Amino acid sequence: MSIWESFKIALSSIWNHKIRSVLTMLGIIIGVAAVITIVAIGQGAQTQLTDELFSTDKNAIELFYEQNPTEDGSEMIWMEPELTHEDVETLAKVPGVKAVLATNQGWGALAYNDKQGEMEITGVGAEYFAARNIKILEGRPINVRDNDGMNRIIMIDTVARKKFFKENEKVIGEIVDLNDNPYKIVGVYESPTPEQFRHSEFGEMLMPRALISLMFGNREIERLAIIASNPDKISETGRLAADTLTKSKKLEDGKYNIFDYSQFEGEFNQFILIITLFIGSVAGISLLVGGIGVMNIMLVSVTERTREIGLRKALGATRGKILLQFLIESVTLTSLGGLIGLGLAILGTLVISHFSPITATISPLVVVIGISFSAFIGIVFGILPANKASKLSPIDALRYE
Protein backbone atom coordinates (compact mmCIF):
# COMPACT_ATOMS: atom_id res chain seq x y z
CA MET A 1 0.00 0.00 0.00
CA SER A 2 1.43 3.41 -0.99
CA ILE A 3 1.59 6.46 1.25
CA TRP A 4 -1.07 8.15 -0.91
CA GLU A 5 -3.47 5.25 -0.38
CA SER A 6 -2.74 5.37 3.36
CA PHE A 7 -3.49 9.10 3.32
CA LYS A 8 -6.83 8.50 1.53
CA ILE A 9 -7.76 5.84 4.09
CA ALA A 10 -6.89 8.32 6.86
CA LEU A 11 -9.14 11.00 5.33
CA SER A 12 -11.92 8.45 4.89
CA SER A 13 -11.64 7.43 8.54
CA ILE A 14 -11.76 11.05 9.68
CA TRP A 15 -14.76 11.78 7.43
CA ASN A 16 -16.67 8.72 8.63
CA HIS A 17 -16.28 9.89 12.22
CA LYS A 18 -16.72 13.62 11.71
CA ILE A 19 -17.96 14.63 15.15
CA ARG A 20 -15.39 12.50 16.96
CA SER A 21 -12.62 13.82 14.72
CA VAL A 22 -13.60 17.45 15.28
CA LEU A 23 -13.74 16.95 19.05
CA THR A 24 -10.35 15.23 18.90
CA MET A 25 -8.84 18.06 16.87
CA LEU A 26 -10.32 20.74 19.12
CA GLY A 27 -7.33 20.87 21.43
CA ILE A 28 -4.95 21.11 18.48
CA ILE A 29 -7.10 23.81 16.83
CA ILE A 30 -7.29 25.93 19.97
CA GLY A 31 -3.61 25.43 20.74
CA VAL A 32 -2.31 26.35 17.29
CA ALA A 33 -4.71 29.31 16.97
CA ALA A 34 -3.80 30.61 20.43
CA VAL A 35 -0.04 30.26 19.98
CA ILE A 36 0.04 31.86 16.50
CA THR A 37 -2.29 34.68 17.59
CA ILE A 38 -0.29 35.43 20.74
CA VAL A 39 3.02 35.42 18.87
CA ALA A 40 1.46 37.64 16.16
CA ILE A 41 0.26 40.12 18.78
CA GLY A 42 3.67 40.04 20.45
CA GLN A 43 5.49 40.68 17.19
CA GLY A 44 3.09 43.45 16.23
CA ALA A 45 3.41 45.11 19.64
CA GLN A 46 7.19 44.78 19.55
CA THR A 47 7.43 46.34 16.10
CA GLN A 48 5.03 49.17 16.91
CA LEU A 49 6.50 50.02 20.33
CA THR A 50 10.07 49.78 19.04
CA ASP A 51 9.24 52.16 16.19
CA GLU A 52 7.57 54.60 18.57
CA LEU A 53 10.23 54.47 21.27
CA PHE A 54 13.44 54.08 19.34
CA SER A 55 13.02 54.84 15.67
CA THR A 56 12.84 58.59 15.41
CA ASP A 57 15.58 57.74 12.97
CA LYS A 58 17.13 54.30 12.91
CA ASN A 59 20.37 55.76 11.63
CA ALA A 60 20.38 58.94 13.75
CA ILE A 61 22.19 59.48 17.02
CA GLU A 62 22.40 62.56 19.23
CA LEU A 63 25.60 64.05 20.64
CA PHE A 64 25.69 65.65 24.09
CA TYR A 65 28.31 67.36 26.23
CA GLU A 66 29.45 65.53 29.35
CA GLN A 67 31.52 67.46 31.88
CA ASN A 68 34.33 65.69 33.74
CA PRO A 69 33.85 65.27 37.51
CA THR A 70 35.96 67.47 39.76
CA GLU A 71 38.89 65.91 41.61
CA ASP A 72 37.69 66.96 45.07
CA GLY A 73 34.09 65.94 44.39
CA SER A 74 32.77 69.49 44.67
CA GLU A 75 29.80 70.70 42.67
CA MET A 76 30.62 71.38 39.02
CA ILE A 77 29.98 74.69 37.30
CA TRP A 78 28.11 73.80 34.15
CA MET A 79 29.69 75.42 31.10
CA GLU A 80 28.63 73.78 27.87
CA PRO A 81 30.72 74.77 24.83
CA GLU A 82 29.01 76.88 22.21
CA LEU A 83 28.37 75.01 18.97
CA THR A 84 29.13 76.73 15.69
CA HIS A 85 28.77 76.20 11.95
CA GLU A 86 32.43 75.13 11.90
CA ASP A 87 31.53 72.26 14.25
CA VAL A 88 28.79 71.17 11.86
CA GLU A 89 31.27 71.19 8.98
CA THR A 90 33.77 69.20 11.06
CA LEU A 91 31.21 66.50 11.84
CA ALA A 92 30.10 66.35 8.21
CA LYS A 93 33.62 65.22 7.26
CA VAL A 94 33.67 62.29 9.73
CA PRO A 95 33.73 58.92 7.89
CA GLY A 96 30.29 57.28 7.93
CA VAL A 97 28.39 60.51 8.59
CA LYS A 98 25.71 61.11 5.97
CA ALA A 99 24.32 64.35 7.40
CA VAL A 100 24.50 66.56 10.48
CA LEU A 101 21.38 67.90 12.17
CA ALA A 102 21.81 71.19 14.00
CA THR A 103 18.67 72.38 15.79
CA ASN A 104 17.38 74.58 18.60
CA GLN A 105 14.05 74.80 20.38
CA GLY A 106 11.44 77.33 21.40
CA TRP A 107 7.79 77.73 22.35
CA GLY A 108 5.32 80.19 20.93
CA ALA A 109 1.65 81.11 20.95
CA LEU A 110 0.26 80.73 17.43
CA ALA A 111 -2.91 82.65 16.66
CA TYR A 112 -5.02 82.62 13.51
CA ASN A 113 -8.47 84.24 13.35
CA ASP A 114 -10.13 83.26 16.63
CA LYS A 115 -7.94 80.21 17.36
CA GLN A 116 -4.83 80.22 19.51
CA GLY A 117 -2.54 77.60 21.03
CA GLU A 118 0.91 77.11 22.55
CA MET A 119 3.16 75.09 20.26
CA GLU A 120 6.68 73.70 20.30
CA ILE A 121 8.98 75.18 17.68
CA THR A 122 12.04 73.43 16.29
CA GLY A 123 14.69 75.53 14.60
CA VAL A 124 16.18 73.72 11.62
CA GLY A 125 18.40 74.17 8.61
CA ALA A 126 17.90 73.09 5.01
CA GLU A 127 19.58 69.71 5.64
CA TYR A 128 16.94 68.70 8.18
CA PHE A 129 14.30 67.58 5.71
CA ALA A 130 16.34 65.19 3.59
CA ALA A 131 18.16 63.77 6.61
CA ARG A 132 14.97 63.07 8.56
CA ASN A 133 12.92 62.05 5.51
CA ILE A 134 10.32 64.70 6.32
CA LYS A 135 7.27 64.39 4.10
CA ILE A 136 6.16 67.77 2.71
CA LEU A 137 2.42 67.70 2.05
CA GLU A 138 1.91 71.32 1.00
CA GLY A 139 4.22 74.14 0.02
CA ARG A 140 8.01 73.95 0.37
CA PRO A 141 10.65 73.23 3.02
CA ILE A 142 12.88 75.75 4.76
CA ASN A 143 15.95 76.48 2.63
CA VAL A 144 19.41 77.99 3.10
CA ARG A 145 18.24 81.51 2.17
CA ASP A 146 15.54 81.37 4.84
CA ASN A 147 18.10 80.58 7.52
CA ASP A 148 20.78 83.00 6.33
CA GLY A 149 18.28 85.82 5.89
CA MET A 150 16.31 84.99 9.07
CA ASN A 151 13.12 85.13 7.02
CA ARG A 152 9.94 85.31 9.06
CA ILE A 153 8.48 82.06 7.81
CA ILE A 154 7.23 78.90 9.52
CA MET A 155 6.07 75.41 8.63
CA ILE A 156 3.25 73.69 10.51
CA ASP A 157 2.56 69.98 10.86
CA THR A 158 -0.67 68.19 9.96
CA VAL A 159 -1.99 68.42 13.53
CA ALA A 160 -1.64 72.21 13.55
CA ARG A 161 -3.26 72.42 10.15
CA LYS A 162 -6.35 70.61 11.41
CA LYS A 163 -6.47 72.73 14.57
CA PHE A 164 -6.19 76.14 12.90
CA PHE A 165 -7.53 75.64 9.38
CA LYS A 166 -10.47 74.01 7.68
CA GLU A 167 -9.91 70.99 5.45
CA ASN A 168 -10.06 72.81 2.11
CA GLU A 169 -8.89 76.18 3.41
CA LYS A 170 -5.81 77.77 1.87
CA VAL A 171 -2.74 77.48 4.10
CA ILE A 172 0.34 78.31 2.06
CA GLY A 173 1.03 82.05 2.08
CA GLU A 174 -1.30 82.77 5.01
CA ILE A 175 -0.06 85.19 7.67
CA VAL A 176 -0.36 84.05 11.29
CA ASP A 177 0.57 85.67 14.59
CA LEU A 178 3.34 84.06 16.60
CA ASN A 179 4.04 85.74 19.92
CA ASP A 180 2.27 88.82 18.49
CA ASN A 181 4.52 88.95 15.42
CA PRO A 182 3.46 88.16 11.83
CA TYR A 183 4.88 85.05 10.13
CA LYS A 184 4.10 83.50 6.77
CA ILE A 185 3.32 79.79 6.41
CA VAL A 186 5.38 78.26 3.60
CA GLY A 187 4.75 74.56 4.12
CA VAL A 188 2.82 71.78 5.81
CA TYR A 189 4.67 68.62 6.80
CA GLU A 190 4.02 65.29 8.44
CA SER A 191 5.69 65.24 11.83
CA PRO A 192 7.86 62.20 12.65
CA THR A 193 7.01 62.55 16.36
CA PRO A 194 4.50 59.90 17.56
CA GLU A 195 1.28 61.39 18.91
CA GLN A 196 1.84 60.16 22.48
CA PHE A 197 5.19 61.94 22.65
CA ARG A 198 3.93 65.33 21.54
CA HIS A 199 4.15 68.19 24.01
CA SER A 200 1.21 70.17 22.64
CA GLU A 201 -2.21 69.22 21.40
CA PHE A 202 -1.96 72.02 18.85
CA GLY A 203 0.88 70.40 16.91
CA GLU A 204 4.41 71.48 16.06
CA MET A 205 6.20 74.12 14.00
CA LEU A 206 9.48 74.36 12.14
CA MET A 207 11.36 77.63 11.74
CA PRO A 208 14.82 78.72 10.56
CA ARG A 209 17.08 78.13 13.58
CA ALA A 210 18.76 81.54 13.14
CA LEU A 211 15.33 83.15 13.56
CA ILE A 212 14.62 81.19 16.76
CA SER A 213 17.96 82.40 18.13
CA LEU A 214 16.92 85.98 17.36
CA MET A 215 13.42 85.57 18.81
CA PHE A 216 14.23 83.82 22.06
CA GLY A 217 17.84 84.85 22.61
CA ASN A 218 19.10 81.27 22.82
CA ARG A 219 21.95 79.70 20.90
CA GLU A 220 21.49 79.03 17.22
CA ILE A 221 22.72 75.45 17.65
CA GLU A 222 21.58 73.79 20.87
CA ARG A 223 21.48 70.17 19.76
CA LEU A 224 23.61 68.17 17.37
CA ALA A 225 22.82 64.80 15.86
CA ILE A 226 24.44 62.84 13.10
CA ILE A 227 22.83 60.65 10.46
CA ALA A 228 24.91 57.56 9.72
CA SER A 229 25.28 56.20 6.21
CA ASN A 230 25.02 52.66 7.56
CA PRO A 231 22.43 52.07 10.33
CA ASP A 232 24.30 48.91 11.40
CA LYS A 233 27.33 51.04 12.34
CA ILE A 234 25.43 53.87 14.01
CA SER A 235 27.12 53.43 17.40
CA GLU A 236 30.64 53.30 15.96
CA THR A 237 29.97 56.32 13.75
CA GLY A 238 28.44 58.23 16.65
CA ARG A 239 31.39 57.59 18.95
CA LEU A 240 33.83 58.62 16.22
CA ALA A 241 31.84 61.83 15.66
CA ALA A 242 31.78 62.59 19.40
CA ASP A 243 35.54 62.03 19.73
CA THR A 244 36.20 64.16 16.65
CA LEU A 245 34.12 67.03 18.02
CA THR A 246 35.86 66.80 21.41
CA LYS A 247 39.31 67.00 19.79
CA SER A 248 38.24 69.73 17.38
CA LYS A 249 37.05 71.98 20.21
CA LYS A 250 40.13 71.10 22.34
CA LEU A 251 38.02 70.38 25.40
CA GLU A 252 39.75 69.79 28.72
CA ASP A 253 36.95 69.90 31.27
CA GLY A 254 34.62 67.53 29.45
CA LYS A 255 33.88 65.60 26.30
CA TYR A 256 31.09 64.83 23.85
CA ASN A 257 29.28 61.54 24.13
CA ILE A 258 26.31 59.88 22.41
CA PHE A 259 22.84 58.72 23.39
CA ASP A 260 23.08 55.08 22.28
CA TYR A 261 19.61 53.58 22.21
CA SER A 262 20.70 50.25 20.72
CA GLN A 263 21.29 48.68 24.15
CA PHE A 264 17.90 49.84 25.45
CA GLU A 265 16.22 48.64 22.28
CA GLY A 266 17.83 45.20 22.65
CA GLU A 267 16.72 44.92 26.27
CA PHE A 268 13.22 46.05 25.36
CA ASN A 269 12.95 43.51 22.52
CA GLN A 270 14.23 40.77 24.82
CA PHE A 271 11.60 41.69 27.42
CA ILE A 272 8.81 41.54 24.83
CA LEU A 273 10.16 38.21 23.56
CA ILE A 274 10.19 36.69 27.06
CA ILE A 275 6.61 37.83 27.73
CA THR A 276 5.46 36.48 24.35
CA LEU A 277 7.18 33.13 24.87
CA PHE A 278 5.75 32.80 28.38
CA ILE A 279 2.17 33.50 27.32
CA GLY A 280 2.65 31.38 24.18
CA SER A 281 3.91 28.44 26.24
CA VAL A 282 0.87 28.68 28.50
CA ALA A 283 -1.36 28.62 25.42
CA GLY A 284 0.72 25.74 24.07
CA ILE A 285 -0.49 23.55 26.94
CA SER A 286 -3.67 23.05 24.95
CA LEU A 287 -1.50 21.47 22.24
CA LEU A 288 -0.31 18.93 24.80
CA VAL A 289 -3.87 18.28 25.87
CA GLY A 290 -4.88 17.96 22.23
CA GLY A 291 -2.06 15.48 21.64
CA ILE A 292 -3.28 13.34 24.51
CA GLY A 293 -6.75 13.45 23.00
CA VAL A 294 -5.35 12.31 19.65
CA MET A 295 -3.54 9.41 21.31
CA ASN A 296 -6.72 8.43 23.15
CA ILE A 297 -8.89 8.44 20.03
CA MET A 298 -6.27 6.53 18.04
CA LEU A 299 -6.20 3.85 20.75
CA VAL A 300 -9.98 3.61 20.44
CA SER A 301 -9.60 3.41 16.65
CA VAL A 302 -7.13 0.53 16.99
CA THR A 303 -9.63 -1.34 19.17
CA GLU A 304 -12.48 -0.70 16.74
CA ARG A 305 -10.45 -1.86 13.74
CA THR A 306 -8.86 -4.92 15.30
CA ARG A 307 -10.47 -7.31 12.82
CA GLU A 308 -9.48 -5.03 9.91
CA ILE A 309 -5.87 -5.07 11.12
CA GLY A 310 -5.95 -8.86 11.44
CA LEU A 311 -7.35 -9.21 7.92
CA ARG A 312 -4.68 -6.93 6.44
CA LYS A 313 -1.96 -8.86 8.22
CA ALA A 314 -3.38 -12.13 6.98
CA LEU A 315 -3.23 -10.73 3.44
CA GLY A 316 0.45 -9.92 3.83
CA ALA A 317 0.64 -6.45 5.38
CA THR A 318 3.85 -6.08 7.35
CA ARG A 319 4.17 -4.61 10.81
CA GLY A 320 5.88 -1.55 9.31
CA LYS A 321 2.96 -0.86 6.96
CA ILE A 322 0.42 -1.14 9.77
CA LEU A 323 2.57 1.18 11.89
CA LEU A 324 2.86 3.68 9.01
CA GLN A 325 -0.89 3.59 8.34
CA PHE A 326 -1.84 4.62 11.88
CA LEU A 327 0.94 7.20 12.08
CA ILE A 328 -0.34 8.77 8.84
CA GLU A 329 -3.85 8.89 10.28
CA SER A 330 -2.59 10.52 13.47
CA VAL A 331 -0.48 13.10 11.59
CA THR A 332 -3.35 13.83 9.19
CA LEU A 333 -5.67 14.45 12.12
CA THR A 334 -3.32 16.86 13.88
CA SER A 335 -2.25 18.59 10.64
CA LEU A 336 -5.86 19.29 9.73
CA GLY A 337 -6.34 20.68 13.23
CA GLY A 338 -3.26 22.85 12.72
CA LEU A 339 -4.57 24.20 9.41
CA ILE A 340 -7.96 25.01 10.93
CA GLY A 341 -6.17 26.65 13.87
CA LEU A 342 -4.12 28.71 11.42
CA GLY A 343 -7.31 29.90 9.73
CA LEU A 344 -8.78 30.94 13.07
CA ALA A 345 -5.51 32.69 13.98
CA ILE A 346 -5.57 34.70 10.75
CA LEU A 347 -9.19 35.68 11.38
CA GLY A 348 -8.39 36.54 14.99
CA THR A 349 -5.44 38.75 14.09
CA LEU A 350 -7.54 40.61 11.52
CA VAL A 351 -10.19 41.30 14.16
CA ILE A 352 -7.60 42.34 16.75
CA SER A 353 -5.81 44.61 14.29
CA HIS A 354 -9.11 46.26 13.36
CA PHE A 355 -10.34 46.94 16.90
CA SER A 356 -7.03 47.62 18.70
CA PRO A 357 -4.11 50.02 18.12
CA ILE A 358 -1.74 47.07 17.63
CA THR A 359 -1.28 45.57 14.17
CA ALA A 360 -0.80 41.85 14.77
CA THR A 361 1.72 40.31 12.37
CA ILE A 362 1.79 36.63 11.42
CA SER A 363 5.23 35.73 10.13
CA PRO A 364 5.64 32.80 7.68
CA LEU A 365 8.17 31.22 10.07
CA VAL A 366 5.59 31.07 12.87
CA VAL A 367 3.07 29.48 10.48
CA VAL A 368 5.55 26.82 9.38
CA ILE A 369 6.56 26.11 12.98
CA GLY A 370 2.92 25.91 14.11
CA ILE A 371 1.84 23.46 11.38
CA SER A 372 5.04 21.42 11.71
CA PHE A 373 4.62 21.21 15.47
CA SER A 374 1.04 20.01 15.14
CA ALA A 375 2.24 17.30 12.73
CA PHE A 376 5.03 16.44 15.16
CA ILE A 377 2.45 16.02 17.91
CA GLY A 378 0.62 13.58 15.64
CA ILE A 379 3.80 11.53 15.32
CA VAL A 380 4.66 11.61 19.04
CA PHE A 381 1.19 10.79 20.31
CA GLY A 382 0.45 8.43 17.44
CA ILE A 383 3.42 6.13 18.04
CA LEU A 384 1.82 4.24 20.95
CA PRO A 385 -1.49 3.45 19.15
CA ALA A 386 0.35 2.67 15.90
CA ASN A 387 2.79 0.40 17.71
CA LYS A 388 -0.06 -1.38 19.46
CA ALA A 389 -1.81 -1.93 16.13
CA SER A 390 1.33 -3.25 14.46
CA LYS A 391 1.93 -5.81 17.23
CA LEU A 392 -1.51 -7.40 16.99
CA SER A 393 -1.47 -11.08 16.11
CA PRO A 394 -3.47 -11.71 12.92
CA ILE A 395 -5.14 -14.84 14.42
CA ASP A 396 -6.14 -13.07 17.63
CA ALA A 397 -7.25 -10.02 15.67
CA LEU A 398 -9.53 -12.09 13.38
CA ARG A 399 -11.07 -13.75 16.44
CA TYR A 400 -11.77 -10.37 18.07
CA GLU A 401 -15.45 -9.58 18.56
> For the segment 263-321, what is each residue's pLDDT rounded down to a tens digit?
665 666 677 777 767 766 766 676 777 777 777 777 777 666 666 666 666 766 676 77
Predicted pLDDT at 262: 61
Gyration radius from the chain CA atoms: 34
For the chain, the structural domain boundaries read 3-52+267-399, 95-231
Contact residues for 9 (Cβ-Cβ < 8 A; gap 6+): 325, 329
Predicted pLDDT at 151: 92
Segments of the chain with pLDDT less than 70: 1-4, 6-7, 9-10, 46, 48-59, 70-78, 194-197, 232, 260-269, 276, 279-280, 282-284, 286, 302-313, 315-317, 319, 389-401
Could you say which DSSP state residue 176 is in? E
d(CA 398, CA 377): 31
Predicted pLDDT at 95: 92
Q: Residue 43: exposed, middle, or buried by beta-carbon count in 10 A (0-12, 13-18, 19+)?
A: buried
Question: Kind and range of the H or E element at 386?
Answer: helix 364-390
Could you say which DSSP state residue 350 is in? H
Q: Which pairing describes strands 181-190 and 175-178: parallel, antiparallel, or unpaired?
A: antiparallel
Predicted pLDDT at 75: 54
Q: Residue 195: exposed, middle, or buried by beta-carbon count in 10 A (0-12, 13-18, 19+)?
A: exposed
Q: What is the pTM of this model?
A: 0.56
Predicted pLDDT at 52: 55
Could you please report the per-residue DSSP string of 314-331? HTT--HHHHHHHHHHHHH
Predicted pLDDT at 371: 78
Could you please report the per-residue DSSP string of 19-82? HHHHHHHHHHHHHHHHHHHHHHHHHHHHHHHHHHHH-S-TTEEEEEEEEPPPTT-PPPPP-PPP
Predicted pLDDT at 142: 94
Please report, as a single letter, which amino acid is at residue 74. S
Predicted pLDDT at 74: 55
d(CA 212, CA 4): 77
Predicted pLDDT at 122: 93
> For the segment 44-57, what is each residue's pLDDT rounded down to a tens digit?
776 766 665 545 45
User: How many degrees, rounded to 5, is the angle at CA 27 between CA 350 and CA 300?
Assistant: 150
Predicted pLDDT at 217: 85
Predicted pLDDT at 162: 92
Distances (CA, A) of 328 to 14, 16, 219, 380: 12, 16, 75, 12
